[in-house]
Amino acid sequence: MVKADALVVRGLHKQIGGRTILKGVSFEATTGDLVMITGPNGAGKTTLLRILACLLPKSAGEVLWNGTPYGLEHGAIGYISHKPMLYESLSVYDNLQFFGRMYGASSKEFEQELLTLVGLWRYRYEPAAVLSRGMKQRLAIARMLISRPRMILYDEPFTSLDQEGQDLLKGLLEKERLKTIQLIVTHEPRLLSGLEYKELRLQGGRIEQGESYDT
């Protein structure tokens, strides 16, 4: 039985320069939740994810993990953006191994399992630089999973993925549901069809619609 985690966001504000990006965003999620964050460009979706990932400081409000504030030392946040965030000069395998060792979660079996899962095992000795954009995104998925995250933040993860890659990611969203809290920013809700999710719609830094379940 996996321990259930809880993410609580209360009155989150973010100002950058003179501009207020987030204006009192509040929501809750627990293990098993898949939260789709939608909204027009500039609504604050990516800013929200980056604050939750501790990559950006908040201006005001609370972000709690199991009732306590957290930082980068959390160690169990998986983050995927539309950029693959990989070392181009390192091979596919070395990229995965480097991040695995950084998280202290590396084993040859696990690395092989992940590269097989994302369909890159036979490309393991190729430098990341020669991979196509979609293949890099698959490697980014493996890099994210190697930390065995308990919260996964996806920022436009379907970008550059072909049909097979999109199916793989959809399968992953369902598979990881049992162990994680998942938040996904996407402009393409149709790609989540068939999955049960909550929707948070951001508009001008505020939640316009939230906590509704869709399938």
Partner 1 sequence: MIPRFWNKVFLIYRKDLKDEIQTFGQLIGTLVFGVMLVFIFSYALQLVNLEVSRVFPAALWVSVYFSASLILQRAFSKEAEEGTLDALLLASGDRGILFLAKFFCSLSILLIFEIVVVPLMWAFMGVSGQNLQLGYFAMSLFLGSWGLAAIGTLLNGMTVQLPGSRLLFPLLLFPLLIPLLMGAILTSQGALLGEVQSVMGWFYLLLMFDLTFTVVPLLLFDYVLEG
Binding site for partner 1 (CB under 8 A): 50, 53-57, 72-75, 77, 79, 81, 83-90, 98-99, 101-104, 143, 147
- CB distance 200 to 37 below 8 Å: yes
The least distance separating partner 1 from the CB of residue 209, rounded to whole angstroms, comes to 28
- CB distance 5 to 66 below 8 Å: yes
The least distance separating partner 1 from the CB of residue 152, rounded to whole angstroms, comes to 12
Nearer to partner 1, 124 or 143 (CB): 143
- CB distance 144 to 85 below 8 Å: no
Measured distance CA(89)–CA(92) in Å, rounded: 9
Measured distance CA(31)–CA(49) in Å, rounded: 17
The least distance separating partner 1 from the CB of residue 147, rounded to whole angstroms, comes to 7
Measured distance CA(81)–CA(34) in Å, rounded: 17
Nearer to partner 1, 50 or 177 (CB): 50
Nearer to partner 1, 137 or 197 (CB): 137
Q: What is the DSSP letter of 3?
A: P
- CB distance 54 to 201 below 8 Å: no
The least distance separating partner 1 from the CB of residue 135, rounded to whole angstroms, comes to 16
One-letter identity of residue 126: E
Measured distance CA(100)–CA(107) in Å, rounded: 8
The least distance separating partner 1 from the CB of residue 89, rounded to whole angstroms, comes to 5
Nearer to partner 1, 79 or 197 (CB): 79
Nearer to partner 1, 172 or 192 (CB): 172
Measured distance CA(70)–CA(22) in Å, rounded: 19
